[in-house]
């Protein structure tokens, strides 16, 4: 006959649970004060719901012990057994959403804490917690004392009414020596201001000598100001105090449907898009976190926010936002508010728009790629690197009906001097977002043509040299082509401006890829080298274009001695490489050194006559 089933209850090792909280759930022992303030606020909220106009104060006293006293709903002996002795049960919730244990039909959203583990955070800094409480819901009930220990023991006893004259609760901690720093008077004041600076009820910290500190204040967005300018100045002053910078502007945030109000401050200095700003999020006045990048869309990295909300959900540690549909909707709505501010600047404050774009043009470009309305408004104001210098796209398009855009910074640097002299309008599209935005210019400015720059376009604007001159240079060009061909590069002779440019290295992406493949294949062996070899393509080679108008090149093409011609060709190629500003490969660095050492050696040995044992050399 089978044995009957028997029911058992889980046993909880409180020391192990406290260790879990302190090392894995909470980021720091300092959260103990936040939990105490949070419980006090919720207790006052419950009493206010039952008896509006009741006292609403929280007092924190520091010294050898730390106490937090509130004028809240208080607890009866039955409440103490039910809530303080049961881990995970919160006095702020019931199965039906009502205020468990008080008989009040209060909405669960009125309270900050909902997890029932807040008091345990105090065991992170203390071995003993004492709770003295008198219920406001049941005035006839006696006061009660609960004394808990970190090893899991607790005692409960009732007290005469005189022990606790008024309804409310006092929590007393006896800090451990190894955590005394967290309960030091100045630390307590700092923590109270940090966490409770926006709480709706008065919070006062009383020091060992009786000195008092008011730690919370009404945020500027909830205050009445004498004028819009005064309101704006108050917002900016609050941002300076909070974030230690003077913002370019302040953007008020108000989402009534989400119970959210606050301010977004525009940073006065540029910030990397990869470094998302941390935002301060208060939940019903209590600071939840000052590092909440998920509050705003990724593109809005140019602002820092401080908000107070009633609808966003915290994680169990109450140190981050819970990712859900509400947070997603709030993020989108806040992004729309910031976008509206930005688009409104064009009409309301063009000078501020210029200052903003000068500082945060990368952020604006990131946003404009996905926002057609914003693109229409701000694209003409955005600066780009062009052959006419750093100018706005509107200014550049007026001078160049056909806009050429490069795919990389390297391509732009190769062709910029020559293209400028030839009257070509080229935009550097190698920076983040730039090429995509330039290609959308015709949408905003009909009649403007935008096309990617091809090296052949530049070559077509270079004049062919006179056939007789090309014939005279044939010997040198043959040696130069043989010398430079090992670098997958051809050599041609052309006439172009400016005269000061001796050579131009024209390249394209396919040729660069082919050089990279060849380099990898040369450094590999076995199967990998065979695979790379099979990927070889007959792509256009790079071109070293020598400027026949340049005096140096005119002398170089007359060199007859092979050794000097080889060195000169390598020197011209090296100079063109340096002008392109692309990273040099090891073989190219070696070539650069070899070319200049060769020229130096030739100059040192040249005395106007041939050196002993050598053939006569023609001077370069």
Q: Are 283 and 312 in contact (CB under 8 A)?
A: yes
**143 upstream amide cis, omega within 30 of 0:** no
Reference 17, options 201, 166, 150; nearest CA is: 150
- pLDDT tens for 170-201 read 999 988 888 888 999 999 999 999 999 999 99
3-state secondary structure of 252: strand
Given a cut of 50, whether residue 113 has pLDDT beyond it is no
| Least confident residue range of 60-64, 202-206, 407-411, 609-613 | 609-613
Angle 75-80-84 (CA atoms, 0-180°, nearest 5)?
Answer: 120
Instruction: Count CB-CB contacts under 10 A for residue 173.
Output: 23
Q: For the chain, what percent of residues have pLDDT higher than 70?
A: 81
Q: Are 460 and 494 in contact (CB under 8 A)?
A: no
Burial grade of 346 (CB within 10 A; 0-12, 13-18, 19 or more): middle
- pLDDT tens for 344-387 read 887 888 889 889 988 988 888 887 887 787 788 788 888 899 99
Residue 262: band (very low, low, confident or very high) from pLDDT cuts 50, 70, 90: very high
Whole-angstrom Cα Rg for the chain: 38
Residue 334: band (very low, low, confident or very high) from pLDDT cuts 50, 70, 90: very high
- Write the CB contacts of 421 (distance below 8 Å, at least 6 apart in sequence): 496, 497, 498
- Write the CB contacts of 250 (distance below 8 Å, at least 6 apart in sequence): 232, 235, 236, 239, 263, 264, 265, 266
- pLDDT tens for 583-615 read 777 777 787 888 888 888 887 876 554 444 445
**How does DSSP classify residue 317?**
T
Average pLDDT taken over every residue of the chain: 81
Q: For the chain, what percent of residues have pLDDT higher than 90?
A: 36
Two tokens at 391?
């100018």
Is the entire prediction scored with pTM above 0.85?
no
Given a cut of 50, whether residue 242 has pLDDT beyond it is yes
Reference 395, options 380, 405, 406; nearest CA is: 380
């Amino acid at each position: 006959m089978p044995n009957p089933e028997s029911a058992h209850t889980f046993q909880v090792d409180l020391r192990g649970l406290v260790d879990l909280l302190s090392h894995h759930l909470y980021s720091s022992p300092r959260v103990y004060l936040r939990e105490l303030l949070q419980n006090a606020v919720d207790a006052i909220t419950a009493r206010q719901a039952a008896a509006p106009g009741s006292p609403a104060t929280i007092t924190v006293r520091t010294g050898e012990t730390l106490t937090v006293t509130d004028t809240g709903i208080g607890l009866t002996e039955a409440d103490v057994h039910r809530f303080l002795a049961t881990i995970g049960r919160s006095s702020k919730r019931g199965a039906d959403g009502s205020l468990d244990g008080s008989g009040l039909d209060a909405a669960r959203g009125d309270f900050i804490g909902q997890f029932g583990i807040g008091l345990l955070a105090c065991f992170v800094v203390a071995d003993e917690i004492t709770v003295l409480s008198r219920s406001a819901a049941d005035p006839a009930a006696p006061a009660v004392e609960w004394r808990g220990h970190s090893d899991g023991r607790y005692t409960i006893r009732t007290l005469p009414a005189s022990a606790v004259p008024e309804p409310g609760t006092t929590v007393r901690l006896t800090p451990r020596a190894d955590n005394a720093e967290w309960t030091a008077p100045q630390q307590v004041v700092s923590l109270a201001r940090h966490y409770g600076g926006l709480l709706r009820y008065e919070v006062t910290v009383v020091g060992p000598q009786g000195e008092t500190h008011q730690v919370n204040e009404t945020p500027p967005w909830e205050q009445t100001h004498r004028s819009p300018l005064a309101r704006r100045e108050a917002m900016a002053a609050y941002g300076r105090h909070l974030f230690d910078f003077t913002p370019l502007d302040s953007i008020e945030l108000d989402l009534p449907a989400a119970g959210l109000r606050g301010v977004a401050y525009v940073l006065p200095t540029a910030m990397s898009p990869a470094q998302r700003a941390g935002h301060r999020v208060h939940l019903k006045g209590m600071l939840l976190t000052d590092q909440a990048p998920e509050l705003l869309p990724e593109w809005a990295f140019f602002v820092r926010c401080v908000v107070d909300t009633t609808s966003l959900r915290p994680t169990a540690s109450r140190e981050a936002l819970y990712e859900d549909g509400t947070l997603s909707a709030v993020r989108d709505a806040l992004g729309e508010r910031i976008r509206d501010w930005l688009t409104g600047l064009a009409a309301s404050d063009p000078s501020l728009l210029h200052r903003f774009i000068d500082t945060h043009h990368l952020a604006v470009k990131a946003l404009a790629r996905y926002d057609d309305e914003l693109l229409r408004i701000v694209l003409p104001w955005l600066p780009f690197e062009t052959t006419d210098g750093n100018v706005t796209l509107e200014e550049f398009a007026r001078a160049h009906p056909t806009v050429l855009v490069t795919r990389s910074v390297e391509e732009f640097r190769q062709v910029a001097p020559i293209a400028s002299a030839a009257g070509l309008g080229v935009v550097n599209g190698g920076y983040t977002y730039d090429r995509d935005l330039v290609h959308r210019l015709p949408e905003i400015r009909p009649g403007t043509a935008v096309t990617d720059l091809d090296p052949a376009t530049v070559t077509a604007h270079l004049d062919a040299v006179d056939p007789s001159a090309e014939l005279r240079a044939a010997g040198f060009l043959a040696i130069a082509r043989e010398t430079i061909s090992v670098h997958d590069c051809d050599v041609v002779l052309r006439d172009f401006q400016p005269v000061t440019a001796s050579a131009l290295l024209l390249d394209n992406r396919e040729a660069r890829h082919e050089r990279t493949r060849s380099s990898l294949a040369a450094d590999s062996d076995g199967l990998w080298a065979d695979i790379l070899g099979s990927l070889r393509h007959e792509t256009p080679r790079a071109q070293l274009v020598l400027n026949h108008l340049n005096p140096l090149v005119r002398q170089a093409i007359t060199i007859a001695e092979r050794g000097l011609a080889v060195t000169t060709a390598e020197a011209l190629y090296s100079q063109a490489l340096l002008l392109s500003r692309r990273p040099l490969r090891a073989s190219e660095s070696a070539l650069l050194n070899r070319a200049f050492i060769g020229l130096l050696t030739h100059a040192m040995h040249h005395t106007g006559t041939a050196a002993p044992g050598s053939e006569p050399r023609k001077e370069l």
